[in-house]
Amino acid sequence: MVIGVSGPVDIDLLECDFGNAPIPSTNAFPLVSHFINGLIKRGHHVVVYTNSGELTEPTVIRSKQVTLCICPTKPQPGRRFFKFEREQLEAIIRQNPSDVIYAYWTYEYAWAAIESGIPTVVSVHDNAFKILLNQPDMFRLVRYLMNVVVLHKAQWLVANSAYTFRNLSASSKKKAVVINNFFSPHLGQLIPEGTPKENYITSVVNGFTKRKGIPKALHAFARLREKFPELEYHLLGVDMEPGGAAQQYAQQHNLQEGVRFLGPASQAELMQHMAKAKVLLHPSVEESFGMAVLESMLAHTPVVGGKRSGFVPYLLNHGDAGVLCDVTSAAAMATAVEKLLLDRELSGQVAKKANAFAKANFSEEVVINKHLDIFKSILNIGNTYPPMLAKEKAEGYLFNT
């Protein structure tokens, strides 16, 4: 089976050899790369459809099992509803077809794949309407409208969590199943055996927005510093770099003391940093899944997350695999983190339960095999059930809540 994957791909994480071919920087999301690697390990050829702001012309780069199809992008795509990007992607898909396409997110990558005419399964990874409510600007309005178009056009949907599924419309639910995000086995290899904890807590967040919750988290840490004057708070991700939006906010509100603004990092750096942290504070008020939470669970670092933050309560097994609190309250977050800092036995127990829960429920083997079942049923390969049509089977994919 030749499987297409349309989405933001971290090419550096792909387990294949492109020789000396120059590889442009792309919009990158590690989970997509891990999914591709999982398909490669199972013997499938993968055609990757992605884009880069460094190109002026489309380019195709080939290895033994992977064909990279990379299209150019232009500045300010939201003003054009990503029309240029969609047209470029659709053209390169038609020129380099696959048997079936798995498209990430309900935006330009999925829209282009659907328009190519190749059977496309769309992976729903967020709630565009809730994001718009939390970030009411023109770009998010455009993304929401694109999401509406894609959900209408798509024949097959995969929601990345039960929470995402529940937020779909009734018509979209009829053509959707739930398959959770997963972790790649190699993540555990990124953490040195017996990594000692250092005197800091951390947050891994992309975007300084109300939805991501960093402003409240900075206020929470200021409260913690009053009781733990040597404790540090390390911020990683987009907008968390020195001079970035998070630091500017901290300066304006006199919240810089003890905070290190580290910015984006490689996945290896993130995993090692999380493994050394005493607590991962995840202040996001809404998450369709929460990959940083899952990665922290694998890194044996206890998590404080929102008790009403989308899928986070389910990911933390309703508080058995983490500490849940009201992340709209700086005081509540500070109290939850303090609880783990003061009680080492509790912290160790939470981290142990979280690691076991993550491995039992979000392994690559289970998740990728579910995707392959769907692809085979769409292409009528083998004696598989049609999961998009069989209600009882679809419900079987739901996270056990």
pTM (two decimals): 0.78
Amino acid occupying residue 297: M
DSSP codes, 69-137: EEEE--S-GGGGTTHHHHHHHHHHHHHS--SEEEEESSSHHHHHHHHTTS-EEEEE-S-HHHHHHHS-S
Contacts of 126 (CB under 8 A, 6+ apart): 105, 106, 164, 288
pLDDT at res. 218:
98
Contacts of 129 (CB under 8 A, 6+ apart): 144, 147, 167
pLDDT at res. 210:
86
Amino acid occupying residue 352: K
Q: Determine contact, residues 394/388, Cβ cutoff 8 Å.
A: yes
Domain 186-361, architecture per CATH = 3-Layer(aba) Sandwich (3.40)
Contacts of 113 (CB under 8 A, 6+ apart): 4, 6, 49, 89, 90, 93, 101, 103, 120, 122
Q: What is the CA radius of gyration of the chain?
A: 21
Fold annotation for 2-182+366-396: Rossmann fold (3.40.50)
Mean pLDDT, each 10-residue run in order, the chain (401 residues): 96 91 90 94 96 96 96 95 97 98 98 98 95 91 98 97 94 95 81 86 94 96 97 97 97 97 92 95 94 94 96 95 97 98 96 93 87 94 46 36 28
Question: Which strands form 100-104's sheet, in the order they lie side by side?
Answer: 59-62, 66-72, 45-52, 2-6, 100-104, 120-124, 156-159, 176-178
Query: DSSP state, 235?
Result: E
| Fold equal for 2-182+366-396 and 186-361 | yes
Tell me the domain boundaries of the chain.
2-182+366-396, 186-361
Closest CA to 210 of 164, 245, 256, 162: 245
